[in-house]
Amino acid sequence: MVRKTAKLEARVTEVLKRLDAEYGADTKCYLMHENAWQLLIATILSAQCTDARVNMVTPGLFRKYPSVQAFADADIRELEQDIHSIGFYHSKAKNIIACCKMLAEVYHGEVPRTIEELTLLPGVGRKTANVIRGNIFEDPSIVVDTHVKRISKRLGFTDADDPAKVEQDLMKILPRENWIRYNIQIIYLGRTICKAPTPRCEECYLKDICPSSSSRS
């Protein structure tokens, strides 16, 4: 567990300031959607896949299946073909159909709000639940994906490997109003500069304050 100190608080403040300067304060979700259930399905599809690839598939997918009930009634083999290019299509098709059946039967086609209810849905873990909470219901939440975990550790914001523990560490040191924004900004940083396994530290605007930077003088 990382101890909250004055030095850490100062680093957090400066990191957040620079993230806002670089990316702005926009909290728009990169996954294309028009409503809660579309974002839920898009987020399930995005596991081990880029948002760009998901966005290539979902417009046609949502035209073919225009409602929760349409997905609940879908033929699994046909749905697998529809999402084949996204990867892991067997498990994703199975989870989407089961998830939509539960939404239709238990929640009358609506997406529930609480993390407890969301994580009961097939294929929905804390990460997906927090995407929905933050982007649909505007409930402050921290989505710990591979980028957020990796970069938060490099910044010294957490020393945990378990996503739930990383989430708890970040909630303790980040201002609540920055939670959603931090997710989006860090994911973009991870895709462009702070990559795994080799970060491009010499290009990073955080290199002088990042404890893990190879470019610190």
- Enumerate the active-site residues: 127, 145
Half-sphere exposure of 193 (CA within 13 A, CB side): 16
CA 146, distance to chain mean position in Å, is 9
CB 131 within 8 A of CB 29: yes
Residue type, 179: W
How far is it, in rounded angstroms, from Cα 120 to Cα 115? Answer: 9
Burial per residue of 90-121, b for 16 or more beta-carbon CB atoms within 10 angstroms, e otherwise: eebbebbbbbbbbbbeeeeeebbeebeebeeb
